[in-house]
């Protein structure tokens, strides 16, 4: 068995019955659009969480993780309720709760998705456990249903008011594709995405500034969007198009809500435009849209930070086709679309820019569109 299996054996002293893995994701474009009924275009990455699981007869759940050595959380499956347990173990314990699974089990987690970098380490954990217990206890839930239930875990058990993009990506992604997810229509489309075939690389530049979605900023943005929709008389900001914006600006009469609305409305349009540019192989246009999306995320949604802005400016000056902050914001990582031969020069430029400003060194690595959640052993 791979590493979660080894953790399982070391901590619990016997062999797990199965091992499941689920990936983190990079969101190519479409930020804070998912909970506004909008469009997103993410892809799964090779970094993933693994869950090694074995059933227990006594209705207890025991949770451990390679990333939190020495901690074992034990709780009765009938005693699961939001807030119990708290902390990272809630991402595991909240899964049987949302799946209405009444069987006990031992589970060990090991993850290579960096935490707090905007690459959805939380969905990776949620989804690895979800496909594992769904299969082990023959719960018979579809991938789409698992996505809905694990979003419920994150929203109602962990208490983070996130949308559903991350779970959809982790559960439905396929190699070589991004997923165009239309939340309002509840449809997904696999969009061929092959930067390597065009001599390009998607580089992640993790600023090492950490975010926390259950914290205030994400929640505040979500409420501002909901308040804007309420004032505009639409169920969600997806109901406003770019053509509607001038009128919406007049109706909102509030600078902050105007900015938030403008970001979401133009971002939905950029997702469509980027999917169109991809289908025509217009990589230069893809890059421009990424950079436009960053400006909107930074200036209208005000969810960036200086370290990520410096990364974006530096990679653009060093020849990237485009770059933007990816994920929930307030820290985390930028992605850059770069020519394969420019990768090391661009990495050097970011390292120099960070060091000259006294920032902590950025962590940089290439990502490629990878498979969704699957059984490993």
Nearer to ligand GLA (CB atom), residue 7 or residue 120: 120
Site stretch for ligand GLA (CB under 6 A), options 28-36, 48-56, 125-133, 283-291: 28-36
Nearer to ligand GLA (CB atom), residue 3 or residue 214: 214
User: How many angstroms separate the Cα of 51 from the Cα of each of 31, 72, 106?
Assistant: 28, 15, 10
Contact 329, 118 (CB under 8 A): yes
State in angstroms the smallest separation of the CB of 118 from ligand GLA: 7
State in angstroms the smallest separation of the CB of 20 from ligand GLA: 21
Question: In the beta sheet, which residues pair with residue 215?
Answer: none
166: contact with ligand GLA by CB under 6 A: yes
3-state helix, strand, coil in the chain (%, to 5): 45, 25, 30
Site stretch for ligand GLA (CB under 6 A), options 29-37, 253-261, 287-295, 363-371: 29-37
φ/ψ of residue 33, rounded to 5: -95, -25
Q: Which residues, numbered 85-144, are part of the site for ligand GLA (CB under 6 A)?
A: 120
Binding mask 206-235 for ligand GLA (x = CB under 6 A): -------x----------------------
CB atoms within 10 A of CB 349: 18
List all residues 6 or more positions away from 107 whose beta carbon is below 8 Å from its beta carbon: 8, 51, 52, 53, 61, 62, 63, 64, 92, 129, 132
Site stretch for ligand GLA (CB under 6 A), options 86-94, 160-168, 226-234, 256-264: 160-168
Site stretch for ligand GLA (CB under 6 A), options 8-16, 32-40, 226-234, 367-375: 32-40
State in angstroms the smallest separation of the CB of 169 from ligand GLA: 10
34: contact with ligand GLA by CB under 6 A: yes
Phi-psi region of 10 (alpha: psi -120 to 50; beta: other; left: phi over 0): alpha
65: contact with ligand GLA by CB under 6 A: no
Nearer to ligand GLA (CB atom), residue 26 or residue 257: 26
State in angstroms the smallest separation of the CB of 89 from ligand GLA: 19
Contact 376, 4 (CB under 8 A): no
Contact 20, 135 (CB under 8 A): yes
User: How many angstroms separate the Cα of 99 from the Cα of each of 38, 93, 134, 157?
Assistant: 26, 10, 8, 12
166 in catalytic set: yes
List all residues 6 or more positions away from 364 whose beta carbon is below 8 Å from its beta carbon: 203, 204, 205, 206, 347, 350
181: contact with ligand GLA by CB under 6 A: no
State in angstroms the smallest separation of the CB of 42 from ligand GLA: 9
Candidates 4, 19, 31, 287; binder of ligand GLA (CB under 6 A) is: 31
Q: What burial class does residue 341 get, using C-beta atoms within 10 Å of its C-beta: 0-12 exposed, 13-18 middle, 19+ buried?
A: exposed
Q: Which of 34, 37, 110, 166 is catalytic?
A: 166
Q: Compute the distance between CA of residue 201 and CA of residue 188 in angstroms, rounded to an integer.
A: 24
Chain residues in the site for ligand GLA (CB under 6 A): 27, 31-32, 34-35, 120, 162-163, 165-166, 213, 327-328
Active site (catalytic) residues: 166
């Amino acid at each position: 068995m791979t590493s979660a299996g080894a953790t399982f054996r070391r901590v619990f002293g016997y062999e797990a019955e199965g091992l499941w893995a689920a990936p983190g994701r990079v969101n190519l474009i479409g930020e804070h659009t998912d909970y506004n009924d909008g469009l997103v275009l993410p892809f799964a990455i090779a970094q993933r969480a693994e869950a090694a699981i074995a059933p227990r007869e006594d209705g207890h759940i025991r949770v451990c993780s390679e990333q939190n050595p020495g901690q074992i959380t034990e709780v009765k499956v009938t005693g699961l309720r939001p807030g119990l347990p708290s902390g990272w173990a809630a991402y595991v314990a909240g899964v049987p709760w949302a799946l209405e699974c009444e069987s006990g089990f031992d589970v060990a987690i090991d993850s290579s998705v960096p935490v707090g970098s905007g690459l959805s380490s939380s969905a990776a954990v949620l989804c690895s456990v979800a496909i594992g217990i769904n299969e082990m206890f023959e719960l018979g839930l579809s991938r789409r249903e698992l996505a809905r239930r694990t979003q419920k875990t994150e929203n109602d058990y962990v208490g983070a008011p996130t949308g559903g993009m991350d779970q959809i990506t982790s559960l439905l992604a396929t190699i070589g594709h991004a997923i165009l997810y239309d939340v309002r229509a509840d449809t997904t489309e696999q969009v061929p995405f092959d930067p390597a075939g065009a001599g390009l690389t998607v580089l992640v530049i993790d600023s090492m500034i950490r975010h926390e979605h259950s914290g205030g900023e994400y929640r505040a943005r979500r409420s501002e969007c909901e308040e804007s929709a309420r004032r505009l008389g639409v169920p969600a900001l997806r109901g406003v198009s770019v053509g509607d914006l001038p009128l919406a600006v007049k109706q909102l009469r509030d600078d902050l809500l105007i900015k938030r609305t403008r970001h979401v409305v133009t971002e939905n349009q950029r997702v469509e435009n980027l999917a169109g540019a991809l289908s025509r192989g217009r990589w230069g246009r893809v890059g421009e849209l990424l950079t436009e999306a960053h400006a909107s995320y930074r200036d209208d949604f005000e969810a960036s930070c200086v370290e990520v802005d410096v990364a974006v400016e530096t990679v653009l000056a060093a020849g990237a086709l485009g770059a933007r902050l990816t994920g929930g914001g307030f820290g985390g990582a930028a992605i850059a679309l770069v020519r394969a031969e420019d990768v090391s020069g661009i990495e050097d430029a970011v390292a120099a820019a960070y060091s000259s400003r006294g920032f902590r060194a950025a962590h940089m690595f290439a990502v490629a569109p990878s498979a969704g959640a699957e059984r490993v052993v």
